Structures are given as C-alpha cells and as structure tokens.
C-alpha cells in the first residue's frame, strides 16, 4: 500500500477486556513506532521497533501494554485488562531507518466503557 494502515479504525470495549490493534507499515520501512494521543494533546511515544526487536519500549505505561512485530513488518499493540484511562487514539508510524522522517497512519480510536 501507499501509506501506513491501521485496523480497526475504531474500537469500543468494556473495562477489563483485552484488545489488539494492528499496524501495517509502508513497505520496506524497517522502523516502526507506536504513539498514543489523548484529546487536546500531542502524541506520546510508546514503543519503537527496528526490524523485529523492540529497540525502545520506555514509553509503555505499564505491563498491561505489550507490542510485537514478529516478521519485521506488521505490528500488533496488545492491551490487557483495559481501563477507562486507556481511551485514546493509538497512532502507528514507520520510517526507512534511523532518524528518518516518520510517516503516520490514520490511527485507531480506542474507547473503554
């Protein structure tokens, strides 16, 4: 595809449930990033992958959050035991290599009731 895609575009879940958010980066991009954006705020970094490995996961808020990228392309952000405070837009970005321009997907809006 031409750009970064994310599915689903919207996800509504109940408190305590498990959710998975998917990101398909631009073909050939080795770097993949996850950010979270709350209303009225700028995006906040969660985790960064270079290839298959998580090079920096310092932004993950707690151990309920986990992300994988098993084949170095598609990534899944997993949230266990969701809480209302997890409600936000989750953005994925990809880039060619270190310190290059980051290209963002449309985001997944997560609502935890």
Partner 1 sequence: KQEVTQIPAALSVPEGENLVLNCSFTDSAIYNLQWFRQDPGKGLTSLLLIQSSQREQTSGRLNASLDKSSGRSTLYIAASQPGDSATYLCAVTQGGSEKLVFGKGTKLTVNP
103 is a contact residue toward partner 1 (CB under 8 A)? yes
110 is a contact residue toward partner 1 (CB under 8 A)? no
State which residue, 59 or 72, has the beta carbon closest to partner 1: 59
Binder of partner 1 out of 30, 50, 52, 76 (CB under 8 A): 50
State which residue, 7 or 41, has the beta carbon closest to partner 1: 41
Instruction: Give first-to-last CA distance, the chain, whole Å.
Output: 33
At 45, give phi and psi (nearest 5°). Answer: -65, 140
Q: How many CB atoms lie within 10 A of CB 2?
A: 6
14 is a contact residue toward partner 1 (CB under 8 A)? no
CB burial of 71-88 (b: ≥16 within 10 Å; e: otherwise) equals eebebebebeebeeebbb
State which residue, 1 or 14, has the beta carbon closest to partner 1: 1
DSSP state letter for 84? G
Binding stretches for partner 1 (CB under 8 A): 4, 6, 31, 33, 35, 40-45, 48, 50, 55-56, 58-59, 91, 93, 98-99, 101-107, 109
């Amino acid at each position: 595809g031409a750009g970064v895609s994310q599915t689903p575009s919207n996800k509504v879940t109940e408190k305590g449930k498990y959710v998975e958010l998917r990101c398909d980066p631009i073909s050939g991009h080795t770097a993949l990033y996850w950010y979270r954006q709350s209303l009225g705020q700028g995006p906040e970094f969660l985790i960064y992958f270079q290839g298959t490995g998580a090079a920096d996961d310092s932004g993950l808020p707690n151990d309920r959050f986990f992300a994988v990228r098993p084949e170095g392309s598609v990534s899944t952000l997993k949230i266990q035991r969701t809480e209302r405070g997890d409600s936000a837009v989750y953005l994925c970005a990809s880039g060619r290599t270190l310190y290059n321009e980051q290209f963002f997907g449309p985001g997944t809006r997560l609502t935890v009731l």
